[in-house]
Amino acid sequence: MTEEQRNEQRRTRSAGFTLIEILLVVVIIGMLATIAAINVPKFLGQGREGKAKADVSNISTAIHAYNMVEGKYPGSLSDLMAGDDPYMESIPKDPWGKEYVYRRPSSRKGLRFEVFSYGEDGSESGDDIGNWAAEN
């Protein structure tokens, strides 16, 4: 065997991956995919809650502005979009696709009004996100 043939043979042997290297990469990718699949729903839930809190804050700010200018609280959230100079261009839906709830007068002590989302379960419960945390 000539020197050139030996060099060619070495290049051919070292050019590919071994079965163990390929299996190791597949196992690592599988572990990363499992970790992602477990944690992604948790982070999506936190993102939805954050969006709902931001929406509630924006709607509450518009209600306070309405009260300062008009001298009264709006009868409904749609009042915030009425007139030549609306306080909000549109009222967003909560991250779960439902309408935000506006109560005037508030059923909570010390609040003049409530704006809240029923949260993921869609019913009044402990996961509701509203302006009562910010107002107290």
Q: Please give the pLDDT value at position 46.
A: 77
The C-alpha atoms of residue 7 and residue 2 are separated, in whole angstroms, by 9
What 3-state class would DSSP assign to 114?
strand
For the whole model, what pTM was predicted? Answer: 0.68
Summarised one tens digit per residue, pLDDT across range 29-46 is 989 988 888 877 777 667
pLDDT, averaged across the chain: 86
Q: Please give the pLDDT value at position 136.
A: 45
Label the pairing between strands 101-103 and 114-117. antiparallel
Q: What domains are there in the chain, each with its CATH number?
A: 3-135 (3.30.700.10)
